[in-house]
Amino acid sequence: MDSILICGETPLYGRLRVQGSKNAALPILAATVLVPGISVLHNCPKIEDVRLMCKLLETVGCQVKWENHTVTVDASGVVCGTLPSEYVEKMRSSVIFMGAMLGRVGEVSLKYPGGCVIGKRPIDLHLKAMEQFGVQTRQTEEGIVANAGKMKGAHIIFPISSVGATENTILAAVYAEGTTVLEQAAREPEIQALCAFLRRAGAEIAGDGSGRIRIDGQRTLHGCEYTIPPDRIVTGTYLLGCMAAGGEICLENAPAEELSAVFHVLKRMGAELFICSGEVHCRRTHALKSAGNIMTEVYPGYPTDLQSPMLAVMALAEKNSSMTETIFENRFRIVEELNRMGAGIHIQGKTAFVPGARRLHGARVTAQELRGGAALVIAGLAAEGITAISGRQYIDRGYENIAKDFETLGAKVLYEENSGKDSRQPVTAAAGKENR
């Protein structure tokens, strides 16, 4: 089943529980390599990237059991530092195995990570940080080879805030001799979740969330249980779906404290938001106001992962708005597909100008990456007629079942098997059947 069909212009109503965080689960799964015992992770999202991460764990000697939303990892038998290309090339997050493997077995060999088309995302910051521990790294046309020797703590100042480089450096520092201090470290909630897991396993870490993190290395880690926090990007996606389609929804287990920048924009556009006891209620019954000018920023600013979904909502607002992307240089790829639905977005440099007051119409469109695919789903919820979105595999990397979730909220959505149709032909199939 390769495509998602959406019959739009149906307001959303109902309740939905937010899944576990993809961006927290992946580095924590990599961190289990450092634990010479059993780690039990609850509330793991059942998504493709977690499945690939579990496969990587198995290839380096871990025993992995996945039951419902609990993943149990026994890393007592880790011996191999070579990561197979069949998984690494599919997933950008595989690079965070570097720090964990260097800490556990002293060496790592991996292909250049793949799985992402939204920009270059260079790994220079990762490698420079490893070298400050005394790690010898070598880059070839094939990939990266690194040998730890005896890692020693270091004072590392990142030139820019990088979530992936911060995660990798924390993982390496856990087993490095002495104290490591990270300056200008990423402050995202996912960093704090990784540190919380490592502390529960016995690591000595302080300062996460402040931009200056201290790790006292060479602590003996032990098995533990940890619950993955809810996904703030999924929460934002479903709130934006309500903004596009209209209606009133309640999201349970929602990390409201992590979404202040998003809430600020939604309220500016006319959303009524109510936050109580871990739930976020969102109501949109009137025409959307302009979002004004939004700029993506590192946390706690407006998240780049919700840039594409917001573009779809901006097109429906009464007046013009704009979005400036400061994190990734190629994250406007989805604009061409949104424009096929009538969005009328114009790109100039790093800024997308959205005219507003558009009436979106259904079309056959293609997801090329995760968050762009979510943007097409949101556009389809508001569009007149039927929208068919191919490239569902990209969306499945971060959402357990986005079609079923929106169907639970009253949308008319179903999956369509790929039958070799021209992706540019008009959609004539009926939507709104039971999602299976």
**Same domain for 35 and 15:** no
Give residue 143's pLDDT band: very low, low, confident or very high (50, 70, 90). confident
pTM of the model: 0.93
What is the bridge-based pairing of β-strands 136-139 and 143-147? Answer: antiparallel
pLDDT at 171 over 90: yes
DSSP string for residues in 40-69: EEES----HHHHHHHHHHHHTT-EEEEETT
The domain boundary, picked from 227, 258, 274, lies at 227
Q: What residues have CB less than 8 Å from 365, skipping those under 6 apart? A: 337, 338, 340, 341, 376, 387, 388, 389, 390, 423
Q: Comparing C-alpha atoms, which of 204, 203, 252 is closest to residue 224?
A: 203
In-domain check, residue 436: no
Element (H, E) at 323: strand 321-324
**Same domain for 222 and 288:** no
Predicted local confidence at residue 118, as pLDDT: 35
Give residue 2's pLDDT band: very low, low, confident or very high (50, 70, 90). confident
CATH of the domain at 29: 3.65.10.10
In-domain check, residue 431: no
First to last CA, the chain: 10
**Which stretch of 140-144, 318-322, 352-356, 391-395 has the lowest confidence by average pLDDT?**
140-144
Number of domains in the chain: 2
Q: What is the DSSP letter of 398?
A: T
Element (H, E) at 386: strand 386-390
Are the C-beta atoms of residues 374 and 309 closer than 8 Å to each other? yes
The domain boundary, picked from 177, 200, 227, lies at 227
**Same domain for 394 and 256:** yes
* pLDDT tens, position by position, 91-130: 877 889 999 999 999 999 988 776 443 344 568 899 999 9
pLDDT at 90 over 90: no
In-domain check, residue 64: yes
In-domain check, residue 430: no
Q: How far is CA 146 from the centre of its chain?
A: 27
Q: Comparing C-alpha atoms, which of 98, 85, 87, 231 is closest to residue 165?
A: 98
Average predicted confidence (pLDDT) for the chain: 92
In-domain check, residue 161: yes
**Same domain for 161 and 94:** yes
**Same domain for 284 and 216:** no
**Same domain for 149 and 120:** yes
Mean pLDDT of 338-347: 98
**Same domain for 272 and 147:** no
Q: Which residues make beta-bridge pairs with 281?
A: 250, 274
Mean pLDDT of 236-250: 98
Are the C-beta atoms of residues 227 and 42 closer than 8 Å to each other? yes
What is the bridge-based pairing of β-strands 12-17 and 247-252? Answer: parallel
**Same domain for 205 and 252:** no
Mean pLDDT of 274-295: 96
Taking the C-alpha atoms of residue 17 and residue 254, their distance in angstroms, rounded to an integer, is 8
**Same domain for 313 and 240:** yes
Give residue 405's domain range.
3-19+230-416
Q: How far is CA 204 from the centre of its chain?
A: 27
**Same domain for 290 and 176:** no
* pLDDT tens, position by position, 362-382: 999 999 999 999 999 999 999
In-domain check, residue 246: yes
pLDDT at 418 over 70: no
**Same domain for 329 and 310:** yes
**Which stretch of 65-74, 118-127, 257-266, 349-358 has the lowest confidence by average pLDDT?**
118-127
Taking the C-alpha atoms of residue 316 and residue 329, their distance in angstroms, rounded to an integer, is 25
Q: Which residues are catalytic?
A: 116
In-domain check, residue 423: no
**Same domain for 159 and 42:** yes
* Residue 28 burial (10 A CB sphere; 0-12, 13-18, 19+): buried
In-domain check, residue 422: no
Q: Compute CA distances 402 → 315, 376, 410, whole Å.
A: 21, 12, 13
The region that residue 215 occupies, defined by phi over 0 for left and psi between -120 and 50 for alpha, beta otherwise, is beta
Element (H, E) at 183: strand 179-183
* pLDDT tens, position by position, 291-322: 999 999 999 999 999 999 999 999 999 999 99
